[in-house]
Structure formats: C-alpha cells, structure tokens
Amino acid sequence: MAVLLALCSALAYGLSDFLGGILSRRTSAWSVAVVGQSSSAVCTSLVALLVAGHPAPASFGWGVVAGIGGGTGTGFLYRGFASGRMGVVAPVSAVGAALAPVLTGTVTGERPSTLMWLGILAALPGIWLVSSSPDAPGQRGSLAEGFVDGVLAGLGFGVLFAALGQVPDSAGWWPLAVCQVVSVPAVVTIAVLLRAPWLPRGRVVRLAVLTGPLGATATAAFLLASQHGFLTVAGILASLYPATTVLLAALVLHERIHRAQGVGLALCAVAVAFVGGG
C-alpha cells in the first residue's frame, strides 16, 4: 500500500509541476506558487475537517517546518522552470528531494531490505537522467542560475518530505493543513526578499488554482505512504515525479524523449519493481 501511495504522490506532483511550469513561463513564477499553494491549503483544510485525529503539538511543529520547506521548494522550482533551464532544475531538485528522506529514515533507524536498497540506488541516477534534457537553441538563463534554483528547490522538498515523515498516523490531517497554510507566507516572504512580483494578476495566474488539488493530493499521499511504510521508500518513490512531467510533455506538448531520458525511465521502472518486491 505504501508503494502505491508514494507512486500516486509522484504522479500528482508531476501533474502539478507540469501545469505550474507552463504557467510560470507566462507570468510571475512566485504568483503562480502563491495561488497554487493557497488553493492547496483550502483543499487540505476542508478534508482535514472530515478526518479524525489527535495531533500533538509536535505534529503541528513538523507541519510548520514542512510548510516552510514546501513553499520554498515550489517557489524556486517554478522560478527555475520559468528561466527555461528545466533540464538543470528538475534533476537537481528531484535528487535533492530524494536524498533528504532517505538520509532521515536511515538515521532514525529504518532498515529497508537489500532489494529495496537496490531499487533506491537505481532510482537516483534514474531520476537524474529522466529529468535531463539537451540545451535548446536560445535557451534563457544560465547553468549556474538553474543549478542554484534546483539545489534550493530540492532542499525545500527534502525538508518537506523529511518533516512530514515525522507526523504519526494518529495525528490526522490537521498537521498537513498547517503545512499547506504555512507554505503560502513562506513563498511570499522569499519573493519579497528577492524583490520578485508575487501578487496574482491577470487571467493566466488564475489557472494556477488547478495546481492546488493536485498538490494537496500529492502531499497527502506522501504523508500516508510515510505512515504506512518506510520514509526512505516513500521519499525515493515520490521523487520520481519528473518521470510524470516528462511523459506529459511528450504526450501533450509532443516533446521528444531522448536517449538519456529513455534510460532514466527504464531505471525508474526497475526501481519501482525492486522497491515493490522488497
């Protein structure tokens, strides 16, 4: 069940990032993040009203930490996508997001089977390869800018995954709602510090509302996966979200999947098989 939930998380994250990335190229990436995270906060809070739980203060604390990480990750990911350096931002962010929960789970005493570890080891290069893309002529943004955005996004998502992994099943969904609510001021604060426009303006940014239910589904699925299985496994599988984005780009935008991405998709499939079989 945990493997299936983590894969559902990766699918929803990929869908959300695909839509958010497209919108960020047409308007301010920070305003897209603000609208998307606000929509996600509303969706999660409504569901939390229906889910029983007894959250301890520590669970709310982890929710706050996760929200800061999630808002940071989303903002810098969209900024990187808007710069046109998706081939740099996506692999760096995804690998960073995968490493944090793996390290956290290992330090806290999780001991996946040998087959699961082989799957995890296959997933890391798979994530990198499936996210990579050759430079297009006239591509905007520098490699250094894309790398920095990718590192910051990966750090943010890694904190999100690692913190949510500390929320027990008995807490219900209110810590998750806190996470999504806190992510909004986190995005705004970073945008203000960077002097970047974040106020939603125009018709395009309104479409970012659609990323909210997707992001809420992705985060909730990850929370459940980490509660019913290893955080290391949930983190590595949820970080396969670039595979969803790449496949959507090929199907919807008719982008070509090059050889390295094909190898990456194959490694991701091997990782899923090994982790699921372990």
pLDDT in tens, the chain (278 residues): 888 999 999 999 988 988 888 898 888 999 999 999 999 999 999 999 988 889 999 999 999 999 999 999 999 999 888 876 666 777 788 888 888 888 888 888 888 888 888 888 888 888 878 766 655 444 555 556 678 888 899 999 999 999 999 999 999 999 999 999 999 999 999 999 999 999 988 888 889 999 999 999 999 999 999 999 889 889 888 988 877 777 776 777 676 777 887 888 888 888 888 887 76
Q: What is the pLDDT of residue 14?
A: 87
- The dihedral through the CA atoms of 216, 219, 222, 227 has a sign that is negative
Residue in the block written with tokens 């705004």: 188
Residue in the block written with tokens 């606000």: 38
**Cα distance between residue 247 and residue 183, in whole Å:** 28
CA–CA distances in Å: residue 167 to residues 7, 87, 101, 153, 157: 20, 33, 13, 22, 16
For the chain, what's the residue count? 278
Q: Are 25 and 81 in contact (CB under 8 A)?
A: yes
Q: What is the pLDDT of residue 137?
A: 46
Residue in the block written with tokens 């800018």: 145
**Cα distance between residue 92 and residue 147, in whole Å:** 7
Domain residue ranges of the chain, discontinuous segments joined by +: 2-277
**Cα distance between residue 8 and residue 70, in whole Å:** 18
DSSP letter assigned to residue 133 = -
Give residues with Cβ within 8 angstroms of 27, minimum separation 6. 201, 202, 204, 205
Burial of 114 (0-12, 13-18, 19+ CB in 10 A): exposed
Residue in the block written with tokens 């509660």: 227
Q: Are 197 and 31 in contact (CB under 8 A)?
A: yes
Q: How many CA atoms lie within 13 A of 50 on its CB side?
A: 4
